[in-house]
Structure 1
Amino acid sequence: KLNADQQYQARLAMNSAESLLVIINDILDFSKIEAGRLDIEYIDFDLSAMLGDFVETVAHKAHEKGLQLILDTVGIEHSMVRGDPGRIRQILSNLVSNAIKFTAEGEIVICAMLNTTDDYRYQFECSVSDTGMGIPKDRTQHIFDSFTQVDASTTRRFGGTGLGLAIVKQLCQLMQGDIQVSSEEGKGSCFRFYLPLQPSRLSRATVPSANIENVPLLVVDENGTNREVLRRQLELWGARVDLADNAARALHMMNAKLENPDAPHYAVVFMDRLLPDMGGNQLGQAIRENPNFASTKMIMMTAIGNRGDAAKFAAIGFDGYFTKPMTLSDLQDALAVLLEDGDALAKASPLVTHHYLKSLAGNTSPMPGHWPEPCRLLVVEDNSINQTVVQGMLEEIGLHCDMADHGKKALALIRNSDPKYPYNLVLMDCQMPVLDGYSTSRAIRQGLAGDKHQTIPIIAMTANAMAGDREKCLEAGMNDYLSKPINIDELFEKLSLWLTDRVPQPLPDLTGDDGVPWDQADALKRVRNKPERLQTLITMFMTSSTTLLDELRQALVDGDIAAGIHAVHTLKGVAANLSALHLTGAAEKLEAALRAGATENLMPLMEDILQQHQTIEELFTEYLHHHPEQRYGSP
């Protein structure tokens, strides 16, 4: 298992790889833009969180060059918006990468604002400014042209294709926005882009979870921009903030508080590790040695290149340790933990960090009772095991549902539902007998289940994870999309989006280990750690999977590709819901071969399925043998 530091680095690597993939695809995007084939999507996302995640992935590059990277999101009052986060991140990636590349010393500031327009939409304004080499005046008007750089020496010194800014310009225009540049040679540049965004149904104000109204705070940082950004954010939340640019001034301000009995002590001191007169660790030690400051909490802010020092700072007496720039979510959550001074702080080992705050968020489960009353859901799913799994997940989050095993039955249930208590939402499997999910959704939208039900939210559920599946669902009239095996975290988030106006909270990570045939721990998590429910599902699987295998085998013998796809698709779904990883993988390979028409090598794939099925049956039988007291429990 990875430790917290390794998890952080792995996550950075993953995010950086995703950004790299975007950059590699620049040339493809440019071609698509030229051909008018680049898609812009509109989804709900957390703007502040997206900016924070992005900055984490590029901060190390800035710090490696000794640059300060500063994120200013004070101007974002409502964080949840609707737009294309991937394309916005692509714009930022190009702009910030250029800023780092062309800046030898100083700082890079990302400043983001969200303004409300006259039609109650949002105008996102974001600037990336640097203290780099700047652009000559005669080159600024051509800087967004394709294959253009400042001059030939720029290509020799820094590399690049000259496509990045051209793509940025065209992406902004595709999203009905624009970008401008102002620059002074030898002093730096500022790229400012504007994009319209839509309000999200989950829109909320970015306020801290702790009340810091009139709470006295001290920020100690040599960098003036850092101090001002942090001050404005904290004051926006109601805090009383003082600033110091060195350790001596900070100690003087803290001691001055002692001389005034009416002046409350600083509740939290934020300090940079590198100060001009002494290190932040020395300042922290001096504060801790004074018993008058025993209740003052201290947060160390340091460059990303100095990770692994948490234990050392904890030994000095620091309460929190964060890499710069400190994201908005970390700032909010850290203040909540430190000012509450309760169990969450006591359990922080060795102190409060980004990883610790993430772990606290991961332990937040949805609480029943937040759904509209009454709330009726219809689950349209032909497989009994999948029905039981989804029903169990819904019950865990305080919801109940009716079941239909094919589309015609679903249409009848919706059409004949009580007018006083109509269905609020439909969870729709895509592959079903009699009438599949796509046809059923089209029928609902055409009014065949009743005119008053034409706009009911429909969320697709499918074991397919192929490119284009999401578009296929949306074209059929569905509103959203869930991949099987259904993850309860994603299910809760989708239902929160379509049933309520409240912001979904994350659930524990339910990922499994694909190195074992059966991830028993993950299977238990899928049924919310209820062994009796798992017992029932296993017993159902032992009965139904044999029939599925017979159907699959017969379909292959008869050359009936459609029947084979349906049988193996169903087998894949039920195996995944029980975390039978190897059987799921084997079924997925056969399904892919059938869909691709590669019928010459089907029997080896079928043999693999039979072998994996035998293995999982043995494991399930052993599990049932060791849990006889729960074998006949009800789901």
Structure 2
Amino acid sequence: MIRQDLLLASLDQVAEAVLGFCARGEIIFANREATARFGYSPSEFSTMSLRQLAPEMEDDAYEHFVADLSEKREASIKVKLQTAEGCLTPVSIRARQIGDGPNPCFTCVIHRTHMAASFNNLMLTRESRLELALRAANVGLWDWDMVRDEMYFNETWYTMLGYETDAFPPSIDTWSLLVHPDDLAHALRAFSDNFSNTKSKIETSFRMKRSDGSWQWIQNIGEVVERDADGAAMRVIGVHVDIHEAVRDREALDRAKAEAEAANRSKDQFLANMSHEIRTPMTAILGYTDILAEEQTTEAQRLEAVSVMRRNGEHLLTVINDILDLSKIEAGRMTITPEPTHLPGILDDVIALMNVRARDKNLSLTTEYRSSIPERVIIDPVRLRQILVNLVGNAVKFTSEGEVRLILAARTNQDQTTSLRIEVADTGIGMKPEQLARLFRPFTQADDSMTRRFGGTGLGLTISRKLARLMDCDLTVQSTFGRGSSFILDGKLDTPNDTRWVSESGPALEQTDVILQSQNPQPLLGRRVLVAEDGPDNQKLIAHHLRKAGAEVTMTDNGQLAVEAAAEARANGEDFDVILMDMQMPVLDGYAATGKLREMRFDLPIIALTAHTMSGDREKCLAAGCSDFQTKPINRDALIKTIVSRLDASIAA
């Protein structure tokens, strides 16, 4: 027995594979090189025969090999032996009989042939190429031998997750610890679904923990490559593919799609609101014109109809202005014109305007000076007033009881600019956090039910914030649901060098509903006015206002007729004092007509009338030779005031 152990130990030191087998061909021992080269364990070899190890050997060749051994006590043969992985390796076997008797044993030394070496090199080359390809593609390889409970991870498997290859031993337990807890059950189920049935493909995705603690999305693709006689999985091989960026891109795409769908829904809702906001005042305007046309209309009914039509017309104009303002801002065509602006005057004007609505709801509307403020600041007065009217108007609209305060504070900075803060605070319905998050988005209401309840386009705050930022200011909000809101306009502004600082507070001025008239009921008495306007209704309206102000009016339908009328009047020694010029007319538009008149050395005031209010329209009119600019719809008082101002300037010149 000692001699046998020594013999076997000696054979383990041999560099070639050595097998021992009996006369029936059953393998009785295998040295260490044989187990390493062919992948079978000693116990697995002990269950095999030489015939099984060479499945492609012909029966005649095997019998001839055995016969030579019996007769000559040694024999040689070239065959292909099968490895544990199923590969056939070309070898040369040289066998020799050991001992005599009825049951002799044999040993065989297995030499790799040149073909076997080439085959082995080819396999190594292919394995290297595969590993290189996996590394280049950043694909991790794993191999799970479920019988031995052994697992293999290649280098890329580790580095893909940021680990060193010796960070932890490969095992199914390690793999399970790295999978995100929320994904583990799903990932394991993908394996178990394939272990006990004929389905071989495994494909799933999950998150795995990186070395830095972050989570990385992995796509796991595998296949059962070995099953036992009952069909249960014995070995699974697969890859890990980094799909983190793809998942993030898909999530971003899904978010963008959801946002686009939400935006479309918001726009649909916005269009529905606009339809309501436009059709509602139009219904009142058209309906009350029917009342005015009735023969039995009383004086009280007539006055009520006029009041309703005017109020609804002004509301309709506000809706249109909101839409146009947002369009101009979004198109980058909104012009901001900073100039020295009397700040207390703007504030008093806004409060006086809004006090009528506040009084109707029994609300207190006050100004509160937290500090002194500069009397004049450099800002666009029109846009500042627009923002404040919107903020105070909203505060009054959404407050049913309590108060609305306009809170003012300012300080001088080291760079000599002024930090101005104007806060509009109310005790109204307030807003929830989710409503605040979408408050300033265009086409989005804080709450659609609010819009239905309170009305309005829902564009005012969007426009106000964009206008504020165009003026290097900002508009923010603080709100508590059920307790009220505060909208804060703040920014750093320049001030004129000689600006005084003022500090006063008190109740707001009241404004009556009476339209203020000029002290002079006919400020244009004796003045000759030429009007170029192609719309018959507008002709009658403008002529009515001018004649009521005392003017003598000549009306023309287009620019060419206006030029001819002006030339004829000069020839007769009866020049017009002022020309009102519609800028968009047939035959000859207002721009060309004004140019011709200036070429003919007419230096009288020419005031542009236009429905165009986009950025640059005013400048375009002035560049054509106009003296001033009035937008449609015509405001009677503003028009008369502009004409008087231009006539006075003409006389002074």
Structure number with greater CO (CA < 8 Å, separation at least 6) is: 1
Length-normalised TM-score, structure 2: 0.33
Q: Which has the larger radius of gyration?
A: 2
The structure with the greater share of residues assigned to strand is 2
